[in-house]
Amino acid sequence: MSDVLLTWFVRAFAVVRRAMPDRGGDIADELQSDAALETFRDACTDALRRAGLIGLLGEGLAGLFDLARAVVRARFGGQVLVGGPKGPPYEDSTAKGGFTMWDDLRYAVRRLRSRPGTALLCAAMLALAIGLTSAMFTVVDSYLLRPGPFRDLETFGQLGVGANADKASVNLPLTYARAWRSAGIFHAVHALVQQPAAFGKGDDAITTAGARVTPGLLDDLGAKPIAGRLFVEGEGRDGDGNPIVISESLWRSRFQADRSIVGRSIEVSGSPATVIGILPASFAFPYAQVKVWRPLDLNAPPPPLGRRLSYVYARFENGRPREDALIAAARVAHDVDPSEPNAIVAASPVTRGLLDEYSKSSLLALAIGVGLVFLVLCANATNLLLARLGARRQEFALCSALGASPASAASRSPRCW
């Protein structure tokens, strides 16, 4: 197979060079001589010995392409030179004031083809380094650098009660939310109780994370449904029809993106519920896993929910200092639970994923570790290339002896011939 392919390349070379115009002068004579043909044959034979059939195929195609390009250049008035030991002719780029980008690219491809193992190993290390770094940056960007997709986060926070700001608990009874709302300290007070939702029965049943939210919370965060509406005041009591809002991802996976689902009654956790709206997949609150939201009337919650702990959120007044509002909220919290007279109220920012300080520190440490791995892999690739460069010292010395400059010998050693 290799002998047949070699013979085919030699015959193709002989056919293509016949197209060289007579006005090519000495260059045309050199290309049409037996020496040029033998040089091309030797280059293909050497490639076959070094890299097998793949090397022969690459060298033969490259040589034929260079020859055809030289013929075209000669027919349109260009100048060509006969190449050295590699055989195929190439354009005289020095006549135009230097090497072209095409010359650099062609030479780089040939160098990579001559040592495929080194090239593949360097590419694999760089690909691993870039892939790890890109994945880590995506995580850091989502959880640390970019805030959640909510409106006016600088005046919105999650309230917690504790001995100090670092130990403030965000799991609070609903009585705190009612007291803070009645006191009028904040522009708005909202509450959220986690409650999973189950769809279907038997093998088709699925359970997803869900939340009960007071009407107005989703609107205050800037949520815009892609279909339907959000909750209004008065919803969330027993016997109000049990309205629900679902996520776009659940709408597409469970209901096949059927727009007629809005206004339809479905079964959720064994009870009928009416879908009133669909939120976009980009809206993730309080966690990305939450796909269903149901209303919660803060003044008259269903009995099972009234005894559960909740998350409390507040929208601060624009003209009032946050510290003053939190001090006033602490006095109200003391009235709700006199057993903790020194308790303070702290407000933490609402970000996607709700990372605590330990999680943020761990994520930063992981990002630094991935950055070090990136540097190590890049250093390994550099050392591999430097070792390959050191192995070519004899080649550089021979080029310098033939009159090539140090820069030319190091960058394009085959051209020094």
**Range from 41-45, 88-92, 235-239, 328-332 that averages highest in pLDDT:** 328-332
Is pLDDT above 60 for 290? Answer: yes
Is pLDDT above 80 for 247? Answer: yes
List Cβ neighbours of 13 (8 Å cut-off, separation of 6 or more).
37, 40, 63, 64, 67
Residues 251 and 392 in one domain: no
| pLDDT at residue 292, rounded to an integer | 94
Is pLDDT above 80 for 120? Answer: yes
Angle, in degrees to the nearest 10, between helices 116-140 and 101-114 = 110
Residues 55 and 199 in one domain: no
Residues 287 and 317 in one domain: yes
Residues 210 and 86 in one domain: no
- Prediction pTM value: 0.55
Is pLDDT above 70 for 94? Answer: no
What are the pLDDT digits (tens) for 275-288?
Answer: 999 999 888 888 87
Residues 382 and 338 in one domain: no
As beta bridge partners, residue 190 has 313
Q: Is residue 357 part of a domain?
A: no
Q: Which domain holds residue 38?
A: 2-114
Q: Which residue has the higher pLDDT, 152 or 358?
A: 152
Q: Whole-angstrom Cα distance, residue 402 to residue 161?
A: 82
Report which DSSP code applies to 391.
T
Amino acid present at 111: R
Kindly write down the DSSP assignment for every residue of 167-196, as one continuous string: G-B--B-HHHHHHHHHHT-SSEEEEEEE--
Residues 168 and 297 in one domain: yes
Residues 35 and 129 in one domain: no
b (16+ CB within 10 A) / e for 360-380: eeebeeeeeebeeebeebeee
Q: Give the total residue count for the chain.
A: 417
Residue 101: band (very low, low, confident or very high) from pLDDT cuts 50, 70, 90: low
Residues 78 and 216 in one domain: no
What are the pLDDT digits (tens) for 104-118?
Answer: 677 777 777 777 888
Residues 80 and 174 in one domain: no
What are the pLDDT digits (tens) for 145-190?
Answer: 666 678 888 889 899 998 887 778 889 999 999 999 999 999 999 9
What are the pLDDT digits (tens) for 24-54?
Answer: 555 566 666 677 778 888 888 888 887 778 8
Last residue of a domain, one of 301, 319, 351: 351
Residues 388 and 317 in one domain: no
Work out the mean pLDDT of the chain and round it to a whole number.
80
| pLDDT at residue 79, rounded to an integer | 47
Residues 245 and 386 in one domain: no
| pLDDT at residue 145, rounded to an integer | 67
Give me the number of domains the chain comprises: 3
Residue ranges of E strands in 131-242: 156-162, 188-194, 197-199, 206-213, 227-228
- Do the Cβ atoms of 50 and 34 come closer than 8 Å? no
Q: Is residue 104 part of a domain?
A: yes
| pLDDT at residue 318, rounded to an integer | 84
Residues 278 and 410 in one domain: no
Q: Is residue 91 part of a domain?
A: yes
Q: Which residue has the higher pLDDT, 318 or 355?
A: 318
Q: Which residue has the higher pLDDT, 390 or 230?
A: 230
